[in-house]
Amino acid sequence: MTLQEYDYARESPSKLAASCLLLALTMKNLGGWTPTLEYYSGYRSQDLHPLVKRLNFLLTYQPHDKLKAVRTKYSHRVFFEVAKVMPMDMLKLEEILKSC
């Protein structure tokens, strides 16, 4: 989805990928940012927090009237219907990120 948003073009691809992974881990309650992830990604959890919040905001307040192709594609069971996963409540996300 970030490929369709100009605001994310200035972010480094590695930081964007790491932030997406942290958001996914948080959304699915699969744990936090481990020392192994920090080592291999080169990013501390705190470095990713602002981008994770922006990504969750993108999921929460996405335009529904245009650019539906990505949402339709990833709503299919072949892609585990990831487009149907509900975004996190912003306050809950903030609370979880503070604890990591």
Summarize pLDDT for 25-62 with one digit per residue, the tens: 999 899 889 999 999 999 999 999 999 999 999 888 86
pLDDT value at 100 more than 90: no
Higher pLDDT among residues 18 and 61, named by residue: 18
pLDDT-above-90 percentage for the chain: 59
Instruction: CATH number of the domain at 44, please.
Output: 1.10.472.10
Higher pLDDT among residues 70 and 21, named by residue: 21
Residue 71: what pLDDT? 80
Summarize pLDDT for 52-97 with one digit per residue, the tens: 999 999 888 866 666 678 888 888 999 888 888 888 999 999 999 9
User: 89 to each of 2, 32, 45, 56, how far by Cα in Å?
Assistant: 20, 17, 19, 9
Would you give the end-to-end CA distance of the chain in angstroms? 26
Report the number of distinct structural domains present in the chain.
1
Residue 99: what pLDDT? 85
Domain housing 21 = 2-99
Residue 69: what pLDDT? 81
With 0-12 / 13-18 / 19 or more C-beta atoms within 10 angstroms meaning exposed / middle / buried, residue 48 is: buried
